[in-house]
Amino acid sequence: MDVSGELATVGVAGASALVAAMMSDGWRGVRDWVARLLGQGQGEAEARHVARLDRDRELLAAAPEGEDRSGAVLASWTVRLQDLADEDQEAGRALLEFVNRWREQNPEAAEKASVVRQSAKASGKARINQVGGSQTVINPGRS
């Protein structure tokens, strides 16, 4: 199976699944698997990754109503997982297989974890500020 093209974006797919799983019932299994993958069999490294994963889950869970913190968590895990896949293709393949299996087993969560693209256009003196998944259009000419 040639997965080299898919490995180029496995970080995004893995992070999307990871962030979606953070708020699901199957979190502990996902957390432990990701920690083992990143820790590469070293107990101390695995423990550090478990702590980081738990910290990020708590950050998401503690968000005030209406505040979405998933963008920041998603971005940081995308970089970590993509670096892993770039440095170790075998680990990248394992991550890709895990993501595909997770998507099959969790179709609702997988649908929510899909990448969202937003686009906006401002004209005149208006400007658009986007933070995470929230978008604000500011037009100084109108109040």
pLDDT digits (tens, 9 = 90+) for 108-140: 776 765 544 455 677 777 776 665 555 555 666
Write out residues in the chain with pLDDT < 50, as ranges: 1-3, 115-117
Residue 137: the pLDDT is 57
Residue 117: the pLDDT is 46
Could you tell me the residue ranges of all domains in the chain? 4-112
CB 76 within 8 A of CB 83: no
Q: What's the CA gap between 13 and 76, in Å, rounded?
A: 13
Q: Whose structure tokens read 């978008």?
A: 135
Q: Whose structure tokens read 């797919």?
A: 13
DSSP letter for each residue of 70-102: HHHHHHHHHHHHHHHHHH-HHHHHHHHHHHHHH
Residue 115: the pLDDT is 45
Q: Collect all residues with Cβ–Cβ distance below 8 Å to 141 and sequence separation of at least 6.
A: 124, 125, 126
